Homo-oligomer: A and B are copies of this chain.
Amino acid sequence: MSTAPTVYDVAERSGVSIATVSRVYRNPDSVRAQTRERVLASARELGYVPSGNARGLASRSTGVLGLCFPDYSDPDAESEAETGAGDEADDDAAMLYSDQIIRGMERAARRHGYALLIAASLKGGPESLVAKVAGRVDGFAVLARTVPTEDLDVISRRQPVVMLAGPRESDDLDHLDHIEAANTDGQRELTRHLIEDHGLRRLAYIGAQESPDVDARFRGYAEACRAAGVPVSGEPDLRVAIMTQAEGARAADTLLDRPGERPEALLFANDQMAVGALHTLERRGVRVPEDIAVTGFDGIALSRLVRPALTTVRQPMRRMGEEAVELLVRRLTGQQDKQPVSMMLPVTVARRESCGCARGASRA
């Protein structure tokens, strides 16, 4: 693997100038067919591949879009694999949030001729994640709360950045484009369903702390409660640190052990926690949904695989990824006015078994 051949090598070997070699790759028609073939031939012989870096440097664009997302890996999800019956080591089935977004972005990017660079947060240093990605792409999307706000602030002055799934956090990020799901609407509707259709009134809400998404969802929950005359406090009944299965399992224990009447329904701010709770409830012999209803939020694949199947609010993550790319591309091609864009994608309530809705309704 000696030194890679360059335009110069190819030019020399085919008796043309480097400019012509360059043209062959970027605008083949501007070169006489015969010349072109000659160039292509020697390129092949030499094993020449244009350096993306050099091209990017010279043309000031990379043809790559990026995505930064948090390290969502849920350790519990991994162990889920062992738990499965027989050889069903299917933690694979749990397609995450980020996987969906990646898929959506990749497709849309491809349609526009872009490749996708993905990177999950890990550590810090002056050389942060965003910086690394930002320096290599024409524009990128960031899953909320993945990177320090100030970093984004700085970078968004240089290139298009769209914030995903997280509401525009503070006012300093007002100028950032952002796309979110209708968290409030979804949770409101789900809550309404529990109250009105199932007649439940003693509800408990479980979320994380310092999450704008959770806040938005809780807001919907509270609104529905108030609308139905069900008492609510201004805060979730329980706040966990990270929304994993383990935490969901613990949360269920905590809530059941609290003095006073047992809640009739446990509303979790995401599916993973709800699944964890399902485990706990089964272990304790509490039947779902007969004794208690459980709901999640997100609509990850796992939510449909658990028994009872989880009633939840499905977020269009795939679409979010696509919209993000469309927006970035529009910015990049200048066909989008300066005004920051703010989209809210509609969600849908998936009524399944865990809330008491018809069993066996799902079918592939």
Partner of A158, one of B4, B28, B44: B4
Residues of B within 8 A of A51 (CB): 57, 135
A24, B348: Cβ atoms closer than 8 Å: no
Binary contact readout A78-121 vs B (1 if CB under 8 angstroms, 0 otherwise): 00100011111110110100011011001100100001111110
Q: How far is the CA of A222 from the CA of B289 in the complex (A)?
A: 49
Partner of A305, one of B157, B305, B350: B305
B120, A47: Cβ atoms closer than 8 Å: no
Residues of B within 8 A of A106 (CB): 118-120
A118, B116: Cβ atoms closer than 8 Å: yes
Decide: A47 near B135, CB < 8 A? Known: A85-B362, A363-B84.
no
Residues of B within 8 A of A212 (CB): none
Chain A residues engaging chain B, CB cutoff 8 angstroms: 1, 4-5, 24-26, 28, 40, 44, 47-57, 62-64, 71, 73, 80, 84-90, 92-93, 95, 99-100, 102-103, 106-107, 110, 115-120, 122, 125-127, 131-137, 150, 154-155, 157-159, 275, 299, 301-302, 304-307, 314, 317-318, 348-351, 361-364
B349, A87: Cβ atoms closer than 8 Å: yes
Q: How far is the CA of A275 from the CA of B125 in the complex (A)?
A: 48
Residues of B within 8 A of A54 (CB): 53, 57
Decide: A115 near B87, CB < 8 A? Known: A99-B99, A126-B40, A301-B92.
no
A88, B305: Cβ atoms closer than 8 Å: no
> Distance in Å from the Cβ of A255 to the closest Cβ of chain B?
22
A128 nearest CB neighbor, chain B only? B49
> Distance in Å from the Cβ of A3 to the closest Cβ of chain B?
9
B118, A49: Cβ atoms closer than 8 Å: no
